[in-house]
A and B are shown apart, each in its own frame.
Chain A
Amino acid sequence: MALDQYTEIREYIIEQLNVNGFSNIVTEVNTRLEEDYENESFKKNPYSLLTFFLRESIDILENLSNQRFDELLSRFNNINDNQRIDTISVELMNQGELVFYDLKDLPDYKEITITFQEILKEIQNRN
């Protein structure tokens, strides 16, 4: 794979993340890149940058994903010997009025991480 192809794909991922509301993923990956530069362990070349970007994006998206919410409730209920927990919410203030957001309604980005993993594997196989 030509070096400029690695750059082309990385720039396209960044553009599409930004356009579709995932700009915080780009910010987070850049933060990690800076942190790794400080440790001088990161090789600055297009292939490494692309695979780094994909790997870290997958890691960040996995940590933002709402997976196995029922399992989370079970973890609480397995160690709590009094009342069962039915749900977990966040209390929000709206102009002096309380509203509640049920955390079970948060999204799961599994489809994105699976796609990114497939692309990462394909790129690594071609290198």
Chain B
Amino acid sequence: MFTPTEIARIKNQIRTILQTNAGVSPSRTTTLLPISSLQGKLYEAHVLATICEKLVTQEGLRLSLIGGSHLMLRQKGGAIDRTYPYFEVWNGSNLFGELFTDIYFNTLSYQFKGSPIRQTNGDYHELDIALIKPGQTGYPKHSEVMLAVECKNTSIKKNIIRELLGFRRELSLLQSLRSTNFSVWPTNLTPSEPNSVHMLYCSDSRINRYITNCSIFGILLEHHKM
């Protein structure tokens, strides 16, 4: 049992350290967004670095930054815009793909609707990190996506998994196993057509509870701490 003096000391430690950091707490607003939103972008940058490393070290590809030395993440998704820096991904002398952040892709359901010119909200969704077949413009088609990565620096809830499953449905249909565009990493086989690989990186270790279910649909889950 703690003495009243010890309890008071512990409380004082808690109060002092939190008051000291109150000015940079996640709820504070800097420029236009709360710090918590920007911390999500920092997590995205860490995941992007990991993706780049894996493509190079495990898949044997080569990366080349195009468009400047200032890597820029967007607050909100949008069309492919080559005025922002992005990575070319090379396999020997062949351009294998292009790696973008925060872009929209046109959904499978949009194609099934006949791809009308006037788009509604469900016709496109945002990819945090996407490896796309070379030479795409605007919103790439779901079939042009080779690797789709979502980043969640948040605690896992079942609705996140449901969202993920719905997202997968808009990228491809469940099929028998087929080859991906990759030799080793992230995987050489996926049960989906088109053969895109879909990944979720999450900072909460509880994501591991859902790995086997999501893998049935070709979704790879990774617990990733910053």
Given A28-B155, A88-B73, A91-B72, residue A101 in contact with residue B45 (CB < 8 A):
no
Q: Across the interface, which residues of B come within 8 angstroms of A100, CB to CB?
A: 72
CA A62 to CA B74, docked complex, whole Å? 24
Q: How far is the CB of A27 from chain B (nearest CB, A)?
A: 8
B87 at the interface (CB under 8 A from A): yes
The reply to whether B225 and A63 contact each other, CB–CB distance below 8 Å, is yes
Q: Which of A8, A20, A76 contacts B21 (CB 8 A)?
A: A20
Q: How large is the interface on A (under 10, 10 to 19, 20 to 34, 35 or more residues)?
A: 35 or more
A124 at the interface (CB under 8 A from B): no
Q: Which residue of B lies closest to A23 (CB)?
A: B27
Contact segment of B31-39, B108-116, B118-126: B31-39
CA A16 to CA B21, docked complex, whole Å? 11
A-B contacts at CB below 8 angstroms, number: 184
CA A30 to CA B54, docked complex, whole Å? 34
The reply to whether B22 and A62 contact each other, CB–CB distance below 8 Å, is no
The reply to whether A91 and B73 contact each other, CB–CB distance below 8 Å, is yes
Q: Across the interface, which residues of A come within 8 angstroms of B117, CB to CB?
A: none
- Dominant SS among interface residues on chain B: mixed
- Dominant SS among interface residues on chain A: helix
The reply to whether A62 and B225 contact each other, CB–CB distance below 8 Å, is yes
The reply to whether B45 and A88 contact each other, CB–CB distance below 8 Å, is yes
- Interface positions of A from 1 to 23, Cβ below 8 Å from B: 1-2, 5, 8-9, 12-13, 16-17, 19-23
Q: Across the interface, which residues of A come within 8 angstroms of B62, CB to CB?
A: 81
CA A88 to CA B69, docked complex, whole Å? 9
Q: Which residue of A lies closest to B157 (CB)?
A: A31
Q: How far is the CB of A94 from chain B (nearest CB, A)?
A: 5
- Interface positions of A from 36 to 54, Cβ below 8 Å from B: 36, 39
The reply to whether A101 and B30 contact each other, CB–CB distance below 8 Å, is yes
B interface with A by C-beta (< 8 Å): 1-2, 7, 10-11, 13-15, 17-22, 24-28, 30-33, 35-36, 38-39, 41-43, 45-46, 49, 52-53, 56-57, 62-66, 68-76, 85, 87, 153-158, 203-204, 206, 209, 225-226
